Amino acid sequence: MPRVVVLGCGTGVGKTRVCVALLQQLARIGQACIGLKPIESGIAAQDSPCPQPPPGSDASALAEAGSLHVTTEPHPLYALARPISPHLAAREMGLEIAPEAVVRWVASVEHDVTPLVASDMAFWTIIETAGGVFSPLSRGATNLDLARALEPAIWILVAGDSLGVLHEVSATLQAMRAHGRTPEHVVLSAAREPDASTGSNAAELEALGIVTPTTVLERDDDRGVQSLVKCLVAGERPT
Ligand SMILES: Nc1ncnc2c1ncn2[C@@H]1O[C@H](COP(=O)(O)OP(=O)(O)OP(=O)(O)O)[C@@H](O)[C@H]1O
Ligand SMILES: [Mg+2]
Protein backbone atom coordinates (compact mmCIF):
# COMPACT_ATOMS: atom_id res chain seq x y z
CA MET A 1 0.00 0.00 0.00
CA PRO A 2 2.22 2.86 -1.14
CA ARG A 3 1.47 6.16 0.58
CA VAL A 4 2.29 9.50 -1.00
CA VAL A 5 2.34 12.60 1.21
CA VAL A 6 1.95 15.84 -0.73
CA LEU A 7 3.55 18.80 1.03
CA GLY A 8 3.62 22.43 -0.07
CA CYS A 9 6.03 25.35 -0.06
CA GLY A 10 2.96 27.26 1.13
CA THR A 11 -0.76 27.53 0.76
CA GLY A 12 -2.39 27.89 -2.66
CA VAL A 13 0.63 26.49 -4.50
CA GLY A 14 -1.17 23.70 -6.38
CA LYS A 15 -1.19 20.74 -3.95
CA THR A 16 -4.80 19.79 -4.74
CA ARG A 17 -4.16 20.12 -8.49
CA VAL A 18 -1.14 17.85 -8.21
CA CYS A 19 -3.00 15.28 -6.06
CA VAL A 20 -5.94 15.19 -8.48
CA ALA A 21 -3.60 14.81 -11.47
CA LEU A 22 -1.73 11.97 -9.70
CA LEU A 23 -4.97 10.19 -8.82
CA GLN A 24 -6.44 10.58 -12.31
CA GLN A 25 -3.29 9.26 -13.90
CA LEU A 26 -3.01 6.33 -11.47
CA ALA A 27 -6.67 5.46 -12.14
CA ARG A 28 -6.13 5.80 -15.92
CA ILE A 29 -3.37 3.19 -15.88
CA GLY A 30 -5.46 0.79 -13.78
CA GLN A 31 -3.94 1.43 -10.34
CA ALA A 32 -6.26 1.41 -7.33
CA CYS A 33 -6.03 4.74 -5.49
CA ILE A 34 -7.67 7.00 -2.93
CA GLY A 35 -7.06 10.67 -2.22
CA LEU A 36 -7.38 12.10 1.29
CA LYS A 37 -7.16 15.54 2.84
CA PRO A 38 -7.38 14.68 6.55
CA ILE A 39 -7.23 18.29 7.81
CA GLU A 40 -8.98 21.10 5.97
CA SER A 41 -9.82 24.58 7.17
CA GLY A 42 -12.36 26.94 5.64
CA ILE A 43 -14.99 24.28 5.01
CA ALA A 44 -18.49 23.76 6.31
CA ALA A 45 -18.54 21.73 9.50
CA GLN A 46 -20.72 18.64 9.20
CA ASP A 47 -23.57 18.28 11.69
CA SER A 48 -22.93 14.57 12.11
CA PRO A 49 -20.12 12.26 10.97
CA CYS A 50 -20.48 11.86 7.21
CA PRO A 51 -18.43 9.96 4.60
CA GLN A 52 -19.05 12.64 1.94
CA PRO A 53 -16.78 15.67 2.24
CA PRO A 54 -18.51 19.03 1.68
CA PRO A 55 -18.89 19.90 -2.04
CA GLY A 56 -16.16 22.24 -3.26
CA SER A 57 -13.67 21.13 -0.61
CA ASP A 58 -10.23 19.76 -1.41
CA ALA A 59 -11.28 16.56 0.37
CA SER A 60 -14.17 16.22 -2.05
CA ALA A 61 -11.98 16.86 -5.14
CA LEU A 62 -9.54 14.18 -3.96
CA ALA A 63 -12.29 11.70 -3.10
CA GLU A 64 -13.79 12.10 -6.58
CA ALA A 65 -10.46 11.70 -8.39
CA GLY A 66 -9.59 8.36 -6.75
CA SER A 67 -10.60 5.02 -8.20
CA LEU A 68 -12.04 3.64 -4.94
CA HIS A 69 -15.05 4.85 -2.98
CA VAL A 70 -14.22 5.88 0.60
CA THR A 71 -17.00 5.26 3.15
CA THR A 72 -15.11 6.03 6.37
CA GLU A 73 -16.67 8.67 8.66
CA PRO A 74 -16.00 11.46 9.36
CA HIS A 75 -14.45 12.71 6.13
CA PRO A 76 -12.28 14.75 6.44
CA LEU A 77 -11.16 13.92 9.96
CA TYR A 78 -10.76 17.58 10.88
CA ALA A 79 -13.28 19.76 8.99
CA LEU A 80 -12.41 23.20 10.32
CA ALA A 81 -14.78 26.08 9.74
CA ARG A 82 -12.59 29.19 9.69
CA PRO A 83 -10.22 29.74 6.71
CA ILE A 84 -7.17 30.23 8.95
CA SER A 85 -4.18 28.15 10.04
CA PRO A 86 -5.41 24.67 11.05
CA HIS A 87 -4.08 24.98 14.61
CA LEU A 88 -6.10 28.17 15.17
CA ALA A 89 -9.19 26.96 13.30
CA ALA A 90 -9.12 23.78 15.40
CA ARG A 91 -8.65 25.71 18.64
CA GLU A 92 -11.70 27.87 17.85
CA MET A 93 -13.72 24.66 17.65
CA GLY A 94 -12.30 23.35 20.93
CA LEU A 95 -10.12 20.80 19.10
CA GLU A 96 -6.41 19.97 19.21
CA ILE A 97 -5.03 18.35 16.04
CA ALA A 98 -3.01 15.22 16.80
CA PRO A 99 -0.81 13.68 14.06
CA GLU A 100 -1.35 10.22 15.65
CA ALA A 101 -5.12 10.65 15.23
CA VAL A 102 -4.56 11.46 11.53
CA VAL A 103 -2.40 8.35 11.14
CA ARG A 104 -5.11 6.20 12.77
CA TRP A 105 -7.76 7.74 10.50
CA VAL A 106 -5.70 7.18 7.33
CA ALA A 107 -5.03 3.59 8.42
CA SER A 108 -8.72 3.00 9.05
CA VAL A 109 -9.63 4.37 5.59
CA GLU A 110 -6.99 2.10 4.04
CA HIS A 111 -8.37 -0.82 6.05
CA ASP A 112 -11.94 -0.07 4.91
CA VAL A 113 -11.06 0.01 1.20
CA THR A 114 -8.79 -3.08 1.32
CA PRO A 115 -11.67 -5.52 0.60
CA LEU A 116 -12.40 -3.55 -2.61
CA VAL A 117 -8.94 -4.29 -4.03
CA ALA A 118 -7.81 -7.61 -5.52
CA SER A 119 -5.47 -9.33 -3.06
CA ASP A 120 -2.51 -9.25 -5.48
CA MET A 121 -2.94 -5.56 -6.24
CA ALA A 122 -1.39 -2.57 -4.48
CA PHE A 123 -3.36 0.56 -3.84
CA TRP A 124 -2.13 4.08 -3.51
CA THR A 125 -3.10 6.55 -0.80
CA ILE A 126 -2.41 10.15 -1.81
CA ILE A 127 -2.54 12.49 1.18
CA GLU A 128 -2.69 16.28 0.84
CA THR A 129 -1.42 18.26 3.82
CA ALA A 130 -2.93 21.62 4.83
CA GLY A 131 -0.76 24.67 4.08
CA GLY A 132 3.05 24.54 3.95
CA VAL A 133 5.58 22.01 5.25
CA PHE A 134 6.11 23.98 8.47
CA SER A 135 2.53 25.19 8.96
CA PRO A 136 1.54 24.47 12.56
CA LEU A 137 -1.11 21.84 13.20
CA SER A 138 -0.96 22.27 16.97
CA ARG A 139 1.36 23.94 19.45
CA GLY A 140 3.89 21.11 19.08
CA ALA A 141 3.39 19.71 15.56
CA THR A 142 3.74 20.85 11.95
CA ASN A 143 2.98 19.14 8.64
CA LEU A 144 6.55 17.83 8.69
CA ASP A 145 5.75 15.94 11.90
CA LEU A 146 2.57 14.62 10.32
CA ALA A 147 4.48 13.46 7.23
CA ARG A 148 6.95 11.65 9.48
CA ALA A 149 4.12 10.02 11.41
CA LEU A 150 2.70 8.76 8.09
CA GLU A 151 5.95 6.98 7.14
CA PRO A 152 6.76 4.87 5.27
CA ALA A 153 5.69 7.22 2.49
CA ILE A 154 6.94 8.93 -0.64
CA TRP A 155 7.06 12.70 -0.11
CA ILE A 156 6.27 15.15 -2.90
CA LEU A 157 6.91 18.87 -2.42
CA VAL A 158 4.75 21.25 -4.49
CA ALA A 159 5.56 24.87 -5.33
CA GLY A 160 3.97 27.38 -7.71
CA ASP A 161 5.68 27.99 -11.05
CA SER A 162 6.10 31.75 -10.50
CA LEU A 163 8.61 34.38 -9.42
CA GLY A 164 10.03 33.68 -5.96
CA VAL A 165 9.94 29.91 -6.32
CA LEU A 166 13.74 29.56 -6.50
CA HIS A 167 13.95 30.99 -2.99
CA GLU A 168 10.87 29.13 -1.72
CA VAL A 169 12.05 25.71 -2.87
CA SER A 170 15.64 26.33 -1.81
CA ALA A 171 14.65 27.59 1.66
CA THR A 172 12.11 24.80 2.19
CA LEU A 173 14.58 22.09 1.18
CA GLN A 174 17.32 23.55 3.38
CA ALA A 175 14.96 23.65 6.36
CA MET A 176 13.78 20.09 5.67
CA ARG A 177 17.38 18.91 5.33
CA ALA A 178 18.12 20.43 8.74
CA HIS A 179 15.26 18.29 10.07
CA GLY A 180 16.78 15.18 8.46
CA ARG A 181 14.28 14.37 5.69
CA THR A 182 13.82 15.83 2.20
CA PRO A 183 11.14 14.97 -0.39
CA GLU A 184 11.69 12.35 -3.07
CA HIS A 185 10.10 14.57 -5.74
CA VAL A 186 9.48 18.27 -6.36
CA VAL A 187 6.61 19.43 -8.59
CA LEU A 188 6.09 22.95 -9.89
CA SER A 189 2.40 23.53 -10.54
CA ALA A 190 1.06 26.10 -13.00
CA ALA A 191 0.90 29.44 -11.23
CA ARG A 192 -2.41 31.04 -10.35
CA GLU A 193 -1.01 34.11 -12.07
CA PRO A 194 1.80 33.26 -14.51
CA ASP A 195 4.65 35.78 -14.80
CA ALA A 196 7.88 36.23 -16.76
CA SER A 197 9.58 33.43 -14.78
CA THR A 198 6.85 30.84 -15.42
CA GLY A 199 8.13 28.08 -17.64
CA SER A 200 11.82 28.61 -16.86
CA ASN A 201 11.79 27.92 -13.12
CA ALA A 202 12.21 24.14 -13.32
CA ALA A 203 15.29 24.43 -15.54
CA GLU A 204 16.70 27.12 -13.26
CA LEU A 205 16.18 24.98 -10.12
CA GLU A 206 18.15 22.25 -11.86
CA ALA A 207 20.88 24.59 -13.20
CA LEU A 208 21.40 26.01 -9.70
CA GLY A 209 21.66 22.50 -8.28
CA ILE A 210 18.67 23.06 -5.99
CA VAL A 211 16.53 20.21 -7.33
CA THR A 212 17.32 17.57 -9.93
CA PRO A 213 15.07 16.77 -11.62
CA THR A 214 11.91 18.83 -11.21
CA THR A 215 8.49 17.78 -12.47
CA VAL A 216 6.19 20.44 -13.96
CA LEU A 217 2.39 20.23 -13.93
CA GLU A 218 1.33 22.64 -16.63
CA ARG A 219 -2.09 24.18 -17.02
CA ASP A 220 -4.35 21.72 -18.90
CA ASP A 221 -1.44 19.41 -19.63
CA ASP A 222 -0.81 16.46 -17.34
CA ARG A 223 2.24 15.09 -19.16
CA GLY A 224 4.70 15.99 -16.39
CA VAL A 225 2.62 14.09 -13.87
CA GLN A 226 2.24 11.16 -16.27
CA SER A 227 5.99 10.58 -16.21
CA LEU A 228 6.10 11.10 -12.44
CA VAL A 229 3.42 8.42 -11.99
CA LYS A 230 5.38 6.06 -14.26
CA CYS A 231 8.39 6.52 -11.94
CA LEU A 232 6.28 6.08 -8.80
CA VAL A 233 4.78 2.85 -10.10
CA ALA A 234 8.20 1.58 -11.18
CA GLY A 235 9.71 2.66 -7.85
CA GLU A 236 12.21 4.91 -9.60
CA ARG A 237 13.25 8.54 -9.44
CA PRO A 238 12.33 10.66 -12.49
CA THR A 239 15.11 11.27 -15.03
N1 LIG B 1 -1.55 22.82 -12.66
C2 LIG B 1 -2.44 23.82 -12.54
N3 LIG B 1 -3.25 24.15 -13.57
C4 LIG B 1 -4.12 25.17 -13.48
N5 LIG B 1 -4.28 25.93 -12.38
C6 LIG B 1 -3.50 25.66 -11.32
C7 LIG B 1 -2.55 24.59 -11.34
N8 LIG B 1 -1.92 24.57 -10.14
C9 LIG B 1 -2.46 25.55 -9.39
N10 LIG B 1 -3.42 26.21 -10.10
C11 LIG B 1 -4.19 27.37 -9.64
O12 LIG B 1 -3.81 27.74 -8.33
C13 LIG B 1 -4.93 27.68 -7.44
C14 LIG B 1 -4.45 26.99 -6.17
O15 LIG B 1 -4.22 25.61 -6.45
P16 LIG B 1 -4.59 24.50 -5.39
O17 LIG B 1 -5.97 24.72 -4.86
O18 LIG B 1 -4.28 23.19 -6.01
O19 LIG B 1 -3.52 24.87 -4.25
P20 LIG B 1 -3.34 24.19 -2.83
O21 LIG B 1 -1.88 24.20 -2.54
O22 LIG B 1 -4.03 22.90 -2.81
O23 LIG B 1 -4.09 25.24 -1.89
P24 LIG B 1 -4.52 25.02 -0.35
O25 LIG B 1 -3.31 25.36 0.46
O26 LIG B 1 -5.65 26.01 -0.20
O27 LIG B 1 -4.99 23.62 -0.20
C28 LIG B 1 -6.03 26.91 -8.15
O29 LIG B 1 -7.30 27.47 -7.91
C30 LIG B 1 -5.68 27.09 -9.60
O31 LIG B 1 -6.33 28.26 -10.06
MG1 LIG C 1 -5.53 22.25 -1.56
Convert the pLDDT of each residue in 64-105 to its tens digit. Answer: 999 998 888 888 999 999 999 999 999 999 999 999 999 999
44: pLDDT strictly greater than 90:
no
Q: How far is the CA of 58 from the centre of ligand 2 (A)?
A: 5
Above 70 in pLDDT, residue 136? yes
Question: What percent of the chain stands above pLDDT 70?
Answer: 97
Kindly report the backbone phi and psi dihedral angles of residue 187, in degrees, each rounded to the nearest multiple of 5, phi listed first: -120, 130
The pTM score is 0.96
Cβ-contact 197, 165 below 8 angstroms: yes
Return d(Cα 165, Cα 233) in angstroms, integer. 28
Architecture of the domain delimited by 3-234? 3-Layer(aba) Sandwich (3.40)
Pocket lining for ligand 1, CB < 6 angstroms: 8, 11-17, 58, 131, 189-190, 192, 217, 219
Q: How far apart, in whole angstroms, are the C-alpha atoms of residue 186 and residue 156?
A: 6
DSSP state for residue 114 in the 8-state scheme: G
Ligand 2 centroid distance, CA of 119 (Å): 32
Instruction: Sketch the domain layout of the chain as residue ranges.
Output: 3-234
If one residue of 189, 215, 225 were mutated to test the ligand 1 pocket, choosing by the most ligand atoms within 8 A of its CB, it would be 189
Flag whether pLDDT at 25 surpasses 80. Answer: yes
pLDDT band at 238 (very low <50, low <70, confident <90, very high): low
Residues 6+ away with beta carbon under 8 Å from 70: 34, 36, 51, 63, 109, 112, 113
> Are 146 and 175 within 8 A, CB to CB?
no
47-69 pLDDT, tens digit each: 677 778 999 999 999 999 999 98
The answer, yes or no, to whether residue 37 has pLDDT greater than 90, is yes
